């Protein structure tokens, strides 16, 4: 007797994998937007993968329907919490449990395309969030900053009045004192960046000017 695993078309086995990848990317994007709710999003990629570990056709199909339905139903019910982003993955998983044939294959392909599109979109949104922006961190001495606060405030408008390739200024502070995140044009040359950095170093009360090395380090 042939192994029942052979009765499952290759595209049916691929759909839950594609769905899990799309769900993982969606979860990553959601966690980036709401880190304190990570537990709400992490479970869904694993739900999409459940059918993959079922070796037999008679188990694979109902598992696809159950796992896919869970993703779709909770995606609809959890719309306010952003769970709708897992609905495409649910559609792809359900399609993996359909019977063979042209219609089923077409439906599965379309669902996979939707899930893959969701994956690509999520990746395009998430990757830039982890790339350091084009910006300098400018740290000031607290007393000197207060002494020249009016002048510095006038310079820090967006776009900043001092130009030199800078496009905006984000004002913040930490335990060490006031700081600016000075964002510059993405096409600013290395020489232009050096000129801007040298200028920032001449501002009253500046004690350090360095490149921003994290998207969360300079007010993005």
Residue 7: count of CB within 10 angstroms of its CB? 13
Q: For residues 169 and 183, is the Cβ–Cβ distance under 8 A?
A: yes
Is the pLDDT confidence value at 95 over 60?
Answer: yes
Kindly indicate the confidence band of residue 100, based on its pLDDT and cuts at 50, 70 and 90. low
State the virtual CA torsion across 54, 59, 64, 69 in degrees, nearest 10. Answer: -120
Pair type for strands 135-140 and 177-184: antiparallel
Task: Find, among 109, 103, 82, the residue nearest to 91 by Cα.
Answer: 109
- Calculate mean pLDDT across residues 141-158: 80
Task: Find, among 87, 78, 83, the residue nearest to 19 by Cα.
Answer: 87
Q: For residues 65 and 2, is the Cβ–Cβ distance under 8 A?
A: no
Residue 6: count of CB within 10 angstroms of its CB? 8
Is the pLDDT confidence value at 127 over 70?
Answer: no
Q: What's the whole-model pTM score?
A: 0.50
| φ/ψ bin of 49: left (φ > 0), alpha (ψ from -120 to 50), beta (otherwise) | alpha
Is the pLDDT confidence value at 51 over 80?
Answer: yes
- The pLDDT assigned to 70 comes to 92
Q: What is the average pLDDT score of the chain?
A: 77
Residue 30: asked if its preceding bond is cis (omega within 30°), the reply is no
pLDDT digits (tens, 9 = 90+) for 160-172: 777 777 788 887 7
Alpha-carbon distances of 119 from 5, 23, 24, 142, rounded to whole Å: 28, 7, 8, 46
């Amino acid at each position: 007797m042939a192994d029942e695993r052979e009765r499952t078309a290759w595209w049916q086995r691929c759909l839950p994998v594609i769905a899990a990848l799309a769900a993982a990317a969606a979860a990553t994007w959601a966690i980036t937007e709401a880190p304190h709710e990570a537990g709400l999003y992490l479970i869904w990629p694993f739900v999409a993968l459940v059918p993959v570990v079922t070796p037999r056709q008679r188990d694979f199909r109902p598992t696809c329907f159950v796992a896919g339905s869970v993703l779709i139903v909770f995606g609809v019910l959890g719309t306010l919490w952003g769970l709708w982003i897992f609905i495409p993955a649910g559609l792809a998983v359900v399609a993996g449990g359909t019977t063979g044939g042209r219609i089923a294959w077409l439906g599965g392909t379309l669902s996979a395309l939707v899930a893959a599109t969701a994956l690509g979109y999520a990746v395009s949104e998430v990757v830039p969030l982890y790339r350091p922006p084009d910006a300098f961190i400018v740290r000031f001495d607290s007393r000197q900053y207060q002494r020249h606060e009016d002048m510095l405030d006038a310079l820090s408008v967006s776009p900043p009045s001092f130009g030199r390739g800078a496009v905006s200024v984000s004002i913040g502070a930490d335990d060490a004192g006031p700081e600016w995140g000075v964002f510059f044009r993405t096409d600013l040359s290395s020489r232009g960046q050096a000129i801007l950095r040298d200028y920032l170093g001449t501002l009253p009360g500046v004690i350090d000017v360095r490149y921003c090395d994290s998207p969360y380090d300079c007010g993005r």
